[in-house]
Structures are given as C-alpha cells and as structure tokens.
Structure 1
Amino acid sequence: MNNTKEENNFPIFTMANRGILLLCGIYTIAWAGLFKWFGPALFSWLAMQSDFDTMMNTGWYGTIGIIAGVLLFLSAFYPVSWIYLLAIGLTGKLISIISFLLVYLPNLEWNKRIGFHLFFNESLFLLLIAAMLWKAWKVKKYLATLPD
C-alpha cells in the first residue's frame, strides 16, 4: 500500500469506534434496566447484605440510564452526523454517575461491588464515550473544512 502523508493526517471514525459506542449503549441499557426493574434487589446485592432494607426509588435512575443508553446506541450508526445524540448520551452518563454518588452511595457502605459498578459501569464507559465524542467532533470539524 502506498499511503501518502496527507492521507494519514485526517481523522477517521472507524468501525471499532462504532463498536465501542454500540457496546457502551447496550451495556448502559442493561444495567439501567436492572436498576429500574430490580432496584431493591440490586441494592441488596450491592450492599453485600441480605437483609439490606431500603426504600430508595431507583426508577428515575434507571430511566435516565435507559435513555442515555438508547441515545448512545443510536449514535453509533451515524456518529458524525448525530453527534448531538452522542453528547446527550454522555451527559446522561454523567448525570447517572453524579446521582449515584450523591443519592445512593451515602446509604450504602463502600465495598468491591460498588467499586466495580462505579469504575466499570460508570467511569470507564464515561471515559470511552468522551473519547468517542472527541473523535467524532474532530471528524466533523475536518469535514467542515473540505470544499464542497
């Protein structure tokens, strides 16, 4: 293959990047569904106590997560054109992690299950989505500089 230096300088949004968005969307939907429909049982599991009694409402938390996950999933199909869906999905994930820290964490004791949820389900995917948003923004910015 004869690649020139000019061809390597423009940003591209690869299929692997789309796959990351699809994975983030599906994973977010799955965990949010668990919070929405199995909230008390999930909090009992997160607390590592079989007799954990909580009346915390998790329906709204799950709904925010499902909406964010669907938007992330849809944004994977046209990430450069639908960059606003990606930005709203990232905002939903950010709201999700902040609300978990402020609303639910004070009622739970810190343990490895909560650490897993905060690190993998929230923080890691938040960073991946932010990287994909940055990449899509760079591609959109580059495409705007091209002549029609």
Structure 2
Amino acid sequence: MGEMPIPWAILELVQARLRTVRRANDYRTDAGRDVRLEPAPFDPSDAPRLTLYPLTTLYPDDARSVGERGFTFVVEALVPVRIDNAQQRIVETIADIEDALDGYAQAPLGLPLQFQESVLLDRPDGLAAMAAQVLFGTRYRRSPR
C-alpha cells in the first residue's frame, strides 16, 4: 500500500491542532471537543462541531519546482441555535480557529498555514444551527514516485 497523500496528512495534523481549542487552553470556546475529518448529520441537540474538508490542490503559477502544490481546505464550524448566544459563539469560534491555525507550521509536510477567508452561513440547509466556513491554504512539495 502506498504512502498517505500529503493533503490528508496535513488534515490529520490540523485536526490534532484544532482539538487543542479549549477554554482550558486560553481559547474563547471549547470548539475542539468534536473535530471530524468526515461529514456526518448534525442534530440541533448536538454539541458544537468542527469538520475539515479538502478543497483544491493546484500547481501554483509561481512554483519553484514541478512538485510544488498549493492546497486549500475548509474548517466548517456548526453551533446549535438553541444556545442563547449562538451568533456570538460562532464569531468566537471563527476567531479561535484562526488563532489556532493561522501561521501553524505542519512541518515537514508543508509551509505554515495561511488564513484566506471566513464566511458566516445562517441556518444552512434549514438546520437550527449557525455555521461558518474558514478557508486556509498552504503549500507542499510532492515527491516523485
């Protein structure tokens, strides 16, 4: 069996990093309690959740080698609206995600992560939840076979 693809290995490291997002670690939220690499149905009675999604892998215009790749991924945060301050909590969660990941170096796999944008989604798919998608990018060098 071949080696794990670098983008997936990066997502696993990001998952581990996001699991440290706890009030006990001086963050605003406990968003790191439930961090997933695979999507799952969300019930409004669930606790807040983070899910990672790979987006794009591309050959950058300014690449310095044929193996260089740009990789982007999304951290999706869901906060149930049953929580009194759901809108405040989703904004705090976005800030915690950015604090945990912006500049995070998952060496030797890739360059430090760079925040690209965040988008707030109100009640996605009719769910009783506030959602945010936070986009990050990095670069890595693919090894030839």
Q: TM-score, normalised by structure 1?
A: 0.31
Higher fraction of strand: 2
**Structure 1 or 2: larger helix share?**
1
TM-score with structure 2 length normalisation?
Answer: 0.31
Greater RCO, 1 or 2 (C-alpha within 8 Å, sep 6+)? 1
